[in-house]
Amino acid sequence: MNSGSNKYLLIAALCCVLAALAHIGCIVFGADWYRFFGAGEQMAHMAEQGLWYPTIVTSVIAVILCIWACYGLSGSGAIKPLPLTRLALVLISGIFLLRGVAFVGLMPMFPENSFTFWLVSSGICLFLGGLFAFGTVQQWSKLSHKNV
């Protein structure tokens, strides 16, 4: 790892990996984990029934988080540059920040999710969005224009 790596992006990448692992844990350990993380009784019930929907949704989220972790590592300088790193980091920052503040509008679409889930997950998204945003701003001039 480069000793000059951007700590904000490294922490953001680590957090994304941890979040991906928590999602994988839901798939592996089932309904109790979905309930613990506040995903709602409907998701937990579908997992108990052995339906594929919770596994697919949760897998997609885990894969996206892993990809975002790779872009955080790339942007930090810890690994080789990935294509479109600047654009990806801006989009990742924006998505996390938007998700963090838009929970009030999202709540009616997922009424089975607990209020605690919305507060905790939104706080995490704001935190991660801030890490990605601060790290991106710090690294902006170091990120190759050809990888935009």
Q: What is the pLDDT of residues 119-137, one digit of tens each?
A: 999 999 999 999 999 999 9
Of the listed ranges 43-57, 97-111, 133-147, the least confidently predicted one is 133-147
The reported pLDDT for the residue numbered 72 is 98
Residue 98 lies in a domain: yes
The rounded distance, in Å, linking the Cα atoms of 53 and 65 is 18
The reported pLDDT for the residue numbered 141 is 86
Residue 89 lies in a domain: yes
The secondary structure of 7-33 as a DSSP string is: HHHHHHHHHHHHHHHHHHHHHHHTHHH
Residue 2 lies in a domain: no
Residue 146 lies in a domain: no
Residue 37: phi and psi, rounded to 5, are -85, 0
Percent of the chain with pLDDT over 90: 82
Q: What domain range is 69 assigned to?
A: 7-140
Q: What is the three-state SS of 27-79?
A: HHHCHHHHHHCCCCHHHHHHHHCCCCHHHHHHHHHHHHHHHHHHHHHHHHCCC
User: How many domains is the chain built from?
Assistant: 1
The reported pLDDT for the residue numbered 146 is 52
The reported pLDDT for the residue numbered 10 is 98
**Is-contact 136 90, C-beta < 8 A?**
yes
